[in-house]
Structure 1
Amino acid sequence: MEHMDIKRANGRPASAMRPVKLTREVMKHALGSCLVEFGDTRVLCAATIEEGLPAWRRASRAGWVTAEYAMLPASTGRRTRRETGMRKGRSMEIERLIGRSLRTVTNLRALGEYTVTVDCDVIQADGGTRTASVTGAWVALHDALMAWVEAGKIPRLPLSGQVAAVSMGVVDGSCVLDLDYGEDSRAEVDMNLVATDTGEIVEIQGTGEQAPFDRKRLNDLLDLGEMGIAQLIALQNEVTAFRD
């Protein structure tokens, strides 16, 4: 995989992620919570569990995991209006992505008739809010389900694995990993990868924003994404000891 020379913030190479930090147990009343930081992007993820299921789900005899996503008003340079009425299409698309991603590694039958909601609130945005949300949401979900096990509500942790997400793109002709806002806003190609700890792909979102891209470039971007996912999975495991 070849990369052109490109000047990035803090002098990081094209294949390097921003500093990533996962801080658990940041909220007193949430069963599971995580403050996830991808550089200057910060997302607060909080998981709660309620007895019962949505009406359309009740006949399944299996649990449900869902998510909600929002950007706080001062998370960007210009105030973002609260979504008190009409939801933004972008927010709904991202929260569906988070929910789908979490469900791929959750045994819903083993969860039982409970609904888990993971709220992801962006408190500071600098690119990659959806990928940070997926990554931090898994930690919050893990901790909430562990709390449910410890409370005797379910017999074992109903997680089959881990899931994380990272962005890739083509900026100034070069393939780069984990785009900040400045890079994302001028990217020729913008892509997100969601994958599990076993390397299986959950979702790929890719768009030629300014120019089309060929199969070789796609492969190069996916190679970068796999590198980023491996780092994020390792960090999740470091803070949760999921695989120990």
Structure 2
Amino acid sequence: MRHDQRQPEELRPIRVQRHFVGAAPGSVLISAGKTTVLCTASIDSTLPPWKANSDPATLSGWLTAEYSMLPGSTSPRKRRERDKMDGRTTEIQRLIGRSLRSALDFRALGARTIAIDCDVLEADGGTRTLSITGGFIALCDAIASIRSELPADRPVIERSIAAISVGVVNGTPVLDLDYVEDSTAEVDMNVVMSGTGQFIEVQGTAEGKPFSREFLNQQLDLAAKGIEQLTRLQREALGPDWPSFDPSITC
């Protein structure tokens, strides 16, 4: 039994509130335990210069992501990043961008840029993975807002995306680490997967001594079970707005 009475394979309680703000076509307030992130998705009809100057015959859209932790999200207070982002912030927002880009057919999106903004309101572990999971829901709502402008026969969203942390704590592989567990874990890993169980990115580190292939396989199995649950939660949150990209998904 873990310090919060969860079983090793158990997620923290997850809450999702769509349409949290009105300014962005996609916005989600998502919480896992005490970790809370506001994810918004905005659409711009312009492209980055490096992409706008490409061959008109192959012109396609883009997705970018930004991530930040608000000063009151941690104790002691985290200072604002005013002039230069720290390495952690840069690495996380690149992960979010890479992960959510894998969901899209950019040719079907057309000459548009989607900006995903993930702002951590309270941090208790798993902020990057929750940002990806919530960011996908916001992305779906943003795409739905321009559905009439998109090709009817070519889905823009090709697959669902979710992410979860796993690790080894006190010799036991566990799912969805909070800060207490993450700060003492022997292994810390973040896993991004599609709703059909395909791996998109795996980030894993031994915090002390190396770990075995057996522990790696156990953690990946836990992550896959967690992604199944998160995909089900995403689908329930979106309801009839769940994309019709893959009717084979039954979870």
Q: TM-score range by the shorter chain?
A: over 0.9
Q: What does 1:130-141 correspond to in 2, within 5 Å?
A: 130-141=128-139
If the length of structure 2 is used for normalisation, what is the TM-score? 0.92
The alpha-carbon deviation at position 243 of structure 1 amounts to 5.4
SS in 1 for 2:146: helix
Q: What does 1:129-208 correspond to in 2, within 5 Å?
A: 129-149=127-147, 152-156=148-152, 157-208=155-206
Q: How far apart are the structure 2 equivalents of 1:75 and 1:243?
A: 32
The alpha-carbon deviation at position 232 of structure 1 amounts to 0.3
Q: How far apart are the structure 1 equivalents of 2:3 and 2:142?
A: 37
User: Structure 1, residues 1-25: CA drift from partner, whole Å, max 9, x if none?
Assistant: xxxxx4321x111110100112100
The alpha-carbon deviation at position 153 of structure 1 amounts to 2.7
Q: How far apart are the structure 2 equivalents of 1:111 and 1:154?
A: 7
Partner of 1:220: 218
| Structure 1 gap ranges (5+) | 1-5
The alpha-carbon deviation at position 28 of structure 1 amounts to 0.9
Aligned residue type for 2:150: I
**Contact 2:42–2:114 (CA<8 Å) still a contact in 1?**
yes
The alpha-carbon deviation at position 198 of structure 1 amounts to 1.1
Partner of 2:103: 105
Q: Select the residue among 218, 221, 235 that pairs with 2:233.
A: 235
Partner of 1:117: 115
User: Structure 1, residues 87-126: CA drift from partner, whole Å, max 9, x if none?
Assistant: 1111111111111111111000000000000100000000
Q: How far apart are the structure 1 equivalents of 2:224 and 2:123?
A: 23
Percent of aligned pairs sharing the same letter: 48
Q: Select the residue among 45, 50, 59 that pairs with 1:51.
A: 45
Q: Does 1:86 align with 2:84?
A: yes
Q: How far apart are the structure 1 equivalents of 2:230 and 2:237?
A: 11
**Contact 2:140–2:243 (CA<8 Å) still a contact in 1?**
no
State the number of aligned residues: 236
Q: How far apart are the structure 1 equivalents of 2:7 and 2:210?
A: 24
Question: Residues 44, 17 of structure 1: CA spacing in aligned structure 2 closer, same or farther, 3 A cutoff?
Answer: same
Aligned residue type for 1:93: E
Aligned residue type for 1:94: I
Partner of 2:26: 32
If the length of structure 1 is used for normalisation, what is the TM-score? 0.94
